[in-house]
Amino acid sequence: MPIVVTGIDRTAAEIVAGYAGVGVATVHEAQGRKGLLASHMRPIYRPAHIAGPAVTCEVAPGDNWMIHVAVEQCRAGDILVVTPTSPCEDGYFGDLLATSLMSRGVRGLVIDAGVRDAATLTEMGFPVWSRAVYSQGTVKETIANVNRPIVCAGAYVRPGDLIVADDDGVVVVARADAAAILKKSHEREAREEGVRARLAAGELGLDIYGMRDKLAAKGLRYVERDPEV
C-alpha cells in the first residue's frame, strides 16, 4: 500500500543557498555527467532558475490527488517533483495548487506530465518544468506514494535530494553529494572563466586544450580541397 513519508532528510539549506546562480549544465558536469532529467522537461517560462530539496510524489495517470497530499509535506525552499506511474500529459497542476505551494514558500514544480494555467503561473512567477502544457482535467481516486524514491523523466530522485532547474532543464544531485558537487561546480566555473576570457580574446580551444596532437594521432588530416567534390 502507498505511504507518505513525513520525516525526510533534506539537503541542508546553506548548501542549497550556494547553488543560487549555478547552472544545470555546470552541476551535471561537476557530478560526472549524470542526474539529468530528459530533454522534454522544459520550463513554462524563461528565464528561470531554482534550487532546493525534492519532495517526491507519484500520481496515477489522469489523477492528481496525491499532489494535494504532497503539498502538505512541502516546506519553504522545497521543490515538488511529480512523476506519473505511466506516461500521461494531462494538466495535473494549475494556479490553485501553485497558490498553495507559494504560500508555503515552495520554489517550483518539476513534473513529467502536463500543467495548465500557464499564463497565470507565468504572471505569478511560479516556475514549472513539465512535459506539456495541456488543460486536460484530472480525477482524485487513486492513492500513490509521497516521499519515496521515484524515477522522474529518466532520473532517479530520492526525497531530499537536491534539484537544480534552469532554462537548460533539470538535474538531480544526491543529498550526500550536494556539498561536494557545489564545490566542484564552483571550481568548474572558475576554470571556465579563465578559458572564456582566452576564447573571447581569440585563442582557439584547439590550442587551449592542446588538442592538435591528439587529433593528428587519430588520423585527422587537413586538405586544401575536398578530393571528392
Interface residues for a copy of itself in 32-91 (CB under 8 A)? 33-34, 36, 38-39, 42, 46-47, 49, 60-63, 65, 68-69, 71-72, 85-91
Hey, what amino acid is at 153? A
Cβ closest to a copy of itself, residue 15 vs residue 36: 36
- Of residues 100 through 159, those in contact with a copy of itself by CB under 8 A are 100, 102-104, 114, 116-120, 122, 132-137, 139-143, 147-149, 151, 154-156, 158-159
184 binds a copy of itself (CB under 8 A): no
Place of cell 530522485: 157
180 binds a copy of itself (CB under 8 A): no
15 binds a copy of itself (CB under 8 A): no
Q: Whose CA is closest to 81, among 24, 150, 137?
A: 150
CA angle 75/79/84 to nearest 5° reads 120
- CA distances (Å), origin 221, targets 151, 152, 214, 216: 45, 44, 12, 7
- For the record, the C-alpha cell of 185 comes out as 561546480
Cα dihedral value 70, 71, 74, 77, nearest 10: 130
Hey, what amino acid is at 204? L
Taking the complex as a whole, the smallest distance from the CB of residue 15 to a copy of itself amounts, in Å, to: 19
2 binds a copy of itself (CB under 8 A): yes
Among 75, 168, 180, 186, binds a copy of itself (CB under 8 A): 168
220 binds a copy of itself (CB under 8 A): yes
